[in-house]
Amino acid sequence: MREEDFSFFEEEDFKENLARYEAMLNGGPSAYLEADELTDIAEYYLTQGDTDKANACIDYALTLHPDSIDPLIFKARQHMFSGNLAKAQKICDSIQEQNDREVIFLHAELLIRKRDINEALNYLTEQKKWFADDRKDLYAYLYDCACILEDYAYYEKALEWTEEAEKISGPNLKLMFLKAEIYSIQEKYEKAAEYLDKILDENPYSLKSWNMLADTFFMREMYDKAIEAAEFSLAIKEKGNPEALFTKANSVYHLGNFEKAHQLYSQYIDEFPKSDEYPYLFDGLCLNQMERYEDACSRLEAAEEFSNDCSPEQLQIYLQLSFSYSKVGKFQKALLYLDRARNYEPDGFDYEVLKGHVLLENGFIQEAMECFQKAKEESTDRERAYFLIAVSLFENNLYADALENFYELLEFCSAQTEINCTPYMAYCFYYAKDEVQYLKYLERSCATNPEGTKMVLGSLFPEALDPKEYYAYVTRHNRM
Residue where a domain stops, chosen among 406, 432, 452: 406
In a domain, 461, yes or no: yes
pLDDT score of 366 more than 80: yes
Nearest in space to 88 (alpha carbons), one of 102, 98, 74: 74
388 and 437 within one domain = no
Sorting pLDDT into bands at 50, 70 and 90, what band is 480? low
418 and 393 within one domain = no
434 and 401 within one domain = no
420 and 402 within one domain = no
In a domain, 389, yes or no: yes
Identity of the residue numbered 44 = Y
Residue where a domain stops, chosen among 406, 438, 468: 406
343: alpha, beta or left, given left = phi > 0 and alpha = psi -120 to 50?
Answer: alpha
419 and 475 within one domain = yes
Higher pLDDT pick, 270 / 349: 270
Nearest in space to 306 (alpha carbons), one of 284, 287, 288: 284
How confident is the model over 301-327, as a mean pLDDT?
Answer: 95
How confident is the model over 450-458, as a mean pLDDT?
Answer: 95
Give the whole-angstrom CA distance, residue 203 versus residue 222.
23
* E strand or H helix that includes residue 115: none
Burial of residue 63 (CB within 10 Å: 0-12, 13-18, 19+) is exposed
Maximal C-alpha separation, the chain: 92
How confident is the model over 28-43, as a mean pLDDT?
Answer: 94
Output the pLDDT for position 349: 78
In a domain, 425, yes or no: yes
CB distance 279 to 250 below 8 Å: no
pLDDT score of 2 more than 90: no
In a domain, 362, yes or no: yes
How confident is the model over 56-83, as a mean pLDDT?
Answer: 96
Q: How many structural domains compose the chain? A: 2
Give the sign of the dihedral formed by CA 436, CA 439, CA 440, CA 441. positive
419 and 396 within one domain = no
Sorting pLDDT into bands at 50, 70 and 90, what band is 320? very high
SS3 state of residue 90: helix
pLDDT score of 220 more than 60: yes
Nearest in space to 417 (alpha carbons), one of 407, 404, 402: 407
In a domain, 37, yes or no: no
Average pLDDT, the chain: 95
419 and 379 within one domain = no
pLDDT score of 312 more than 80: yes
DSSP state of 6: G
Q: Distances in Å between the alpha carbon of 6 and those of 26, 43, 231?
A: 25, 10, 23
Output the pLDDT for position 57: 97
Output the pLDDT for position 99: 94
Output the pLDDT for position 121: 98
pLDDT in tens, 227-266: 999 999 999 999 999 999 999 999 999 999 999 999 999 9
SS3 state of residue 262: helix
Count Cα neighbours of 226 within 13 Å in the Cβ-side half-sphere.
Answer: 24
Chain centre to alpha carbon of residue 365: 38
475 and 422 within one domain = yes
Output the pLDDT for position 43: 95
Q: 191 Cβ partners below 8 Å, 6+ apart?
A: 183
Helix then strand then coil, in percent of the chain rounded to 5, is 80, 0, 20
In a domain, 247, yes or no: no
Output the pLDDT for position 5: 64
Sorting pLDDT into bands at 50, 70 and 90, what band is 6? low
What is the pTM for the complete model shown?
0.85
CB distance 475 to 461 below 8 Å: no
CB distance 378 to 352 below 8 Å: yes
Sorting pLDDT into bands at 50, 70 and 90, what band is 80? very high
Q: Residue 423 sits in which domain range?
A: 414-479
Output the pLDDT for position 4: 55
Residue where a domain stops, chosen among 406, 423, 444: 406
Output the pLDDT for position 345: 87
